[in-house]
Amino acid sequence: MNEYYKIAKSHYMEASMQMLEHFKKNVIELHHIGSTSIKKLNSSNGIDVLVILKTVTEVSELKDILIAEGYEVAREFNRFFEEESVFHGKFGDCDVNFIFMSDRDKKSEILLCKELLLENDEYLQNFQELKQLHNDSIIDKDEYQHRKTEFFASLLKEAKDLNIV
């Protein structure tokens, strides 16, 4: 098993419990997403936690509390999440990104992409190869984000064509 996966899972649980302690009235769901949420994926990046809120306005209401708790606003995270609020913090030696959203359709797309990677070794291999290009500095961050966005868009299109959505 990927050693970092075990560490990330532990820190995901710790970070999620802390988030729930502070915002249990506002948070509907928490999901471990991103590369560290997939056991077979070789990743040592930060942990991404999708936080589903009751309403959009709650993010602005929570911002001051999050900053007071030591989180920073992540200014350049990922273009896919440019409409969401992302806060960055540390748990142990892991970076944790909390992505706050209330858009249920977008949440469903994110979770479907994760499920497709978990269930399809070819998709997983293609994504691992893309990540490796970035890790080996063959492509820069902007190109990686662009290709990653295209990759997941193609997964969603294929799922829609197969009526998986």
Alpha-carbon distance 96 to 108, whole Å?
21
* 111 in the same domain as 91: no
Q: Please state the domain count of the chain.
A: 2
Please say whether the beta carbons of 113 and 155 come within 8 A. Answer: yes
Pick the last residue of a domain from 81, 103, 125.
103
Of 54, 69, 103, the residue at which a domain comes to its end is: 103
Q: What is the CATH number of the domain that holds 39?
A: 3.30.460.10
Residues 136 and 73 in one domain: no
Query: How far, in Å, are 10, 50, 52, 123, 155 from residue 107 at the CA level?
Result: 23, 8, 8, 20, 15
Domain boundary among 103, 125, 142: 103
Measured distance CA(159)–CA(165) in Å, rounded: 6
Residue 90: per-residue pLDDT:
86
Whether residues 128 and 59 fall in one domain: no
Query: How many residues can be counted in the chain?
Result: 165
Q: Do 51 and 124 fall within a single domain?
A: no
Does 158 or 163 have the greater pLDDT score? 158
Range of the domain at 71: 3-103
45-84 pLDDT per residue, tens: 688 999 998 876 667 777 888 888 888 988 777 777 878 8
Residue at token pair 């969603």? 156
Residues 89 and 19 in one domain: yes
Check whether residue 85 and residue 155 sit in a common domain. no
Q: How many helices (H) and strands (E) does the chain have?
A: 5, 5
What is the spatial distance between Cα 155 and Cα 165, in angstroms, rounded to a whole number?
Answer: 11
Model pTM? 0.85
